[in-house]
Amino acid sequence: MLREIIRETTVRIAVYQNQPVFGEIEHNLNRVLDDLSEHQFDLLVLPELFATGYLFADSAEAAALADTAGEGVTFTRLRELAESKDAIVIYGFPEKKGDKLFNSSLAILPDGGFHCYQKIHLFDTEKAIFLPGETGFFVIEHQGVRIGMMICFDWRFPESARKLALAGAQIICHPANLVLPHCPDAMITRALENNVFTITADRIGDESRGGKHVHFIGTSRIIAPNGVILAEIGDTETGFRMVEIDPVEADNKIITARNDIFRDRRPEYYWKDEC
């Protein structure tokens, strides 16, 4: 169980890559849960919008498939998974909050509690569907492990991962629906520049709707603080990967005897000429 694993200093972190059928939430959930039924893990990351699909025709369609945080069939069934595995489960979903729609991720704790992050940096057509997130970046601490969340295009802004790392995150969980080719390698840099573990959970396949087409590149990865790829799923396959890590490795920011990547920062100069 999670609490026992942490006393032994290792945590089993996992990523799952899927190929959802647009709008078929129950079907997509069943496939994921069937695939995960025989696996044990302490922290699992699922893709962005993993149960609904991505390419919404308009905000009304997204709203029809959206859930309030902590409600709905997706939350209910993944809460059962988190409780049965004594694990943290993180997944992406369209969130409705009053009359607002967000592209969000939810972290469900083993006791059924949850934390919701709303995507800060919206990509392309998402701007016609969702509002920019309002939660800001934050860190969850559970059983001594510190976890942060960001979603997909947040990767393109180094401030996202840096904000989480400065707040103490040891593991950055990154649900994604990647269409640009750069992110898998860029996340090596995000891990290196912050000395943290990163978990990018992507999807595969294509969606063509409303005259628009997108292709998703897969390549989900778990990356160590030293930039080593610990686990990877290919660009055409679905599935599950897990590795055991010691999250305390991410607390060491020392590069040489004279260099600490956080203590050596000079933020008074970084924004000096910002317009």
Kindly report, residue by residue over 148-167, the tens digit of the pLDDT.
999 999 999 999 999 999 99
Asked if residues 250 and 154 have their Cβ atoms less than 8 Å apart, the reply is no
Kindly report, residue by residue over 52-106, the tens digit of the pLDDT.
999 999 999 999 999 999 999 999 999 999 999 999 999 999 999 999 999 999 9
Question: Does the active-site annotation cover 152?
Answer: yes
Question: Does the active-site annotation cover 272?
Answer: no
Q: Is the dihedral of CA 185, 254, 244, 50 positive or negative?
A: negative
Grouping H, G, I as helix, E, B as strand and the rest as coil, residue 230 is strand
Question: Does the active-site annotation cover 119?
Answer: yes
DSSP state of 180: S
Among all chains, which residue has been given the structure tokens 């409303």? Answer: 210
Q: What is the pTM of this model?
A: 0.95
Among all chains, which residue has been given the structure tokens 């590149």? Answer: 217
Residue 3 φ then ψ, to 5°: -65, -35
Which pLDDT value is given to residue 28?
98
d(CA 124, CA 129): 10
Average pLDDT along the chain: 95
- Which residue of the set 85, 116, 126, 152 is catalytic? 152
In the chain, what are the domain boundaries? 2-270
- Which residue of the set 85, 96, 119, 163 is catalytic? 119
CATH number for the domain running over 2-270: 3.60.110.10
